[in-house]
Structure 1
């Protein structure tokens, strides 16, 4: 996969402090990790609760539960972020 891939990052709402809504705090590390590798992230809200999906060239390459991602940070120490970046870079 080229270093400048366009990655669509789909995310759903999740519950925090009794309120369910779309939040990007847990996506910051993932975005930073992808951007550091030269990829361009496009955020897209979905209705699927707790879902995170990475789409490259129309192909779903990675999915996880949003609460598996670390809150904030740069994604360097988050094993789920490393797995997601590897999935993007191994996409066709």
Structure 2
């Protein structure tokens, strides 16, 4: 996949510290940073499936994980899931 791809990042609500279940983007910051650094355009899309993160390229899901497995905040460079997602987007066609 060439740089500057359009990536849809779907994410669902999750519970933090046992509090309300709602859509939050704090755990997506590192993932967004890694993909933006590669030049991709990211569109956030809220979905109702709890704890889910999906990356879509050309309408195809190329990566998915549990949102709570992503590191909170940060630049994503030390998060192995962010690197896995980055590779999945780069290999998409």
- Tell me the TM-score range normalised by the shorter chain: over 0.9
Report how far residue 2 of structure 1 moved. 1.0
In structure 2, the partner of 1:32 is 33
In structure 2, the partner of 1:45 is 46
In structure 2, the partner of 1:4 is 4
Q: Deviating runs (4+, > 4 A) in structure 1?
A: none
Trace 1:34-73 onto structure 2 (pairs within 5 A): 34-73=35-74
In structure 1, the partner of 2:82 is 81
Size of the alignment, in residue pairs? 92
Structure-2-length-normalised TM-score: 0.97
Structure-1-length-normalised TM-score: 0.98
Over the residues paired in the alignment, what is the CA RMSD in angstroms? 0.5
Report how far residue 19 of structure 1 moved. 0.9
Alignment partners' CA distance in 2, 1:45 and 1:13: 8
Report how far residue 84 of structure 1 moved. 0.2
Which 5+ residue runs of structure 2 have no aligned equivalent? none
Alignment partners' CA distance in 2, 1:29 and 1:3: 18
